[in-house]
Amino acid sequence: MHDHGQNPEIDKDLLEQLGYEGRDVQVDWRIGSSAVLFFISVFVAIGVAWSMIGLVDRTQHAAPAADRMARPMMPPKNAPLLQTDVTAKKDMEELRAQEHKMMESSGWMKEDAGFARMPVDQAMEVVAKRGLPTRANARDPEEVK
């Protein structure tokens, strides 16, 4: 077994000549700087906590709950009303249903002007039978060339 105690064969002067340090590390300044760093950290934490408490106190005393409830919930009359996702989806579904109903039914659009609407499938059949309408004063396509 090896004895880990002092070895009398080692020459300490030789070790110092080779660049080895002959004394132990001084820990006094490290303990002092750690204590200073600790106290600075505690001081900063107390300052931040104090400022946050002050901020919370100011916001709680800004407006009583009764005043907040008395405020109008709607925007001013000249401001646009914003739509939520739920109401927007419902409105789009209603619009699509109304458009689909109009495309699948027949009726007068402007009766005095003679405009009527008919289902799309029926209109396609009419165009297929009669052909596309032409104007009375239309020129022959051969003349245009």
Question: Bridge-partner residues for 117, per DSSP?
Answer: 107
Q: How far is CA 98 from CA 90, 118, 119, 132, in A?
A: 12, 15, 14, 28
The segments of the chain whose pLDDT lies below 50 read 1
**Considering the entire predicted model, what is its pTM?**
0.34
Whether the CB-CB separation of 37 and 29 falls below 8 Å is answered with: no
pLDDT for the residue numbered 38: 96
pLDDT for the residue numbered 3: 55
